Amino acid sequence: MRTRFCDMFGIEHPITLGGMQWVGRAELVAAAAESGVLGFLSALTQPSPEDLVKEIARCREMTDRPFGVNLTILPSINPPPYEEYRQAIVESGVPVVETAGANPAEHVPVFHEGGVRVLHKCTSVRHAVKAQRVGVDAVSIDGFECAGHPGEDDIPGLVLIPAAANAIDVPMIASGGFGDARGLLAALALGADGINMGTRFLCTSEAPVHERIKEQMVRASELDTELIFRPLRNTARVARNAVSRDVVRILDSGGAFEDVRELVSGARGSQVYETGDPDHGIWSAGLVLGLINDVPTVAELVDRIITEAHSILDERLNVLAN
């Protein structure tokens, strides 16, 4: 199941592990690389650019295969030193960066001069077109189903993916709601060159997340996420819990960001993964929760997706075609 996306990034299967705050660490990303897919370390999970350099080195000790770094640029009152993180990525010699959150225009030339390919994640056709225009190498198009930031247009993948495929020529992977072989084949049929997954990889043995949270994900259904920050036009899809409900209630009744700042703090969210208390803070999860029924290793998951994709092609689709 090789696509031009595999050829561009030198990977075996057309699957990526998207950058995940607090979760995209060396163990998970190296496991993805060893399974033949492209994983992204989360740059901002590391407290400083120097720590990111060390994390990249740690990941290299665990795998010889390619992996990348995610750099998420979001509006922030105290922005992290993005340029220093960018420089750390360039100097570490990783082959690819996954940019997200903002227009990549000012970053693309710097990455390209440093020999780093840019995979830009965006949530609308117009942003995909703009990203292609400013020279990104590939696009990851994230539908309304996704964990994290789905944007404000609310267009699910079934329409967003083919619409984006019609509009751009660079390799494109589909993101948001993917977790199994059926999703992979659907994405390829819709015109994508592969899939990106976050939530599904969050529920694997190597994800640095407390077992109780993984058990909660297995129990959860597609009804168990919540959209927060809608009134602020900075929507995020997270696991529905006591905190997400409070945030929605406060903002819907006219509250401002200041009123929820403490509830949504990253420090509280990271404690969810460490303590295993799902109600401790905000943690991202997508609608694909409804398709997650176990906690496999990354290798088992990838192998299952590829094997089942082949049997769907050989059996179900073959029968339908004849």
Ligand X SMILES: Cc1cc2nc3c(=O)[nH]c(=O)nc-3n(C[C@H](O)[C@H](O)[C@H](O)COP(=O)(O)O)c2cc1C
Identity of the residue, 205 or 259, whose beta carbon is nearer to ligand X in the bound complex = 205
Q: Does 225 bind ligand X (CB under 6 A)?
A: no
Closer to ligand X by Cβ: residue 197 or 248: 197
User: Can you list the alpha helix ranges (DSSP code H) found in the chain?
Assistant: 4-9, 26-34, 49-62, 82-92, 108-113, 125-133, 157-167, 181-189, 199-202, 211-219, 242-252, 257-260, 266-275, 298-311, 318-321
| Positions 68 through 107 that interact with ligand X (CB under 6 A) | 70, 72, 100
- 42 part of the interface to ligand X, by CB under 6 A: yes
Q: Which is nearer to ligand X, 22 or 90 (CB)?
A: 22
Closest CA to 173 of 131, 129, 141, 199: 141
- Using CB under 6 A, which of 23, 41, 217, 228 touches ligand X? 23
State how beta strands 225-228 and 236-239 pair: antiparallel
Q: Is residue 226 part of the contact set for ligand X (CB under 6 A)? A: no
Residues 88, 111: Cα–Cα separation, whole Å: 11
- R_g over Cα of the chain: 19
Q: Which of 245, 149, 162, 251 is nearest to 198 (CA)?
A: 149
Gap between the Cα atoms of 198 and 193, Å rounded? 17
Instruction: Establish if 39 lies at the interface with ligand X (CB under 6 A).
Output: no
Least separation in angstroms between CB 262 and ligand X = 20
Which lies closer to ligand X via its Cβ, residue 218 or residue 256?
218
Rounded Cα distance between 238 and 45, Å, is: 18
Q: Which of residues 34, 55, 137, 145 is near ligand X by CB under 6 A?
A: 145
Question: Measured between alpha carbons, how far is 2 from 5 in angstroms, rounded to an integer?
Answer: 8
Spell out the residues 6+ positions from residue 82 whose beta carbon is closer than 8 angstroms to its own. Answer: 71, 73
Q: Which residue's CB atom is positioned nearest to ligand X?
A: 198
**Residue among 259 and 300 whose Cβ is closer to ligand X:** 300
Binding residues among 280-309 for ligand X as defined by CB under 6 A: 283-286, 288
Site for ligand X in 165-224 (CB under 6 A): 175-178, 196-200, 202
Minimum CB–partner distance for residue 142 and ligand X (Å): 5
| Beta bridge pairs of residue 220 | none
The single residue among 5, 15, 19, 119 that binds ligand X, judged by CB under 6 A, is 19
- Answer for which of 116, 118, 146, 155 binds ligand X (CB under 6 A) is 146
Contact call for residue 142 and ligand X (CB under 6 A): yes
Whether 196 and 174 have beta carbons less than 8 Å apart is answered as yes
Binding interface with ligand X (CB under 6 A): 18-21, 23, 42, 70, 72, 100, 121, 142, 145-148, 175-178, 196-200, 202, 283-286, 288
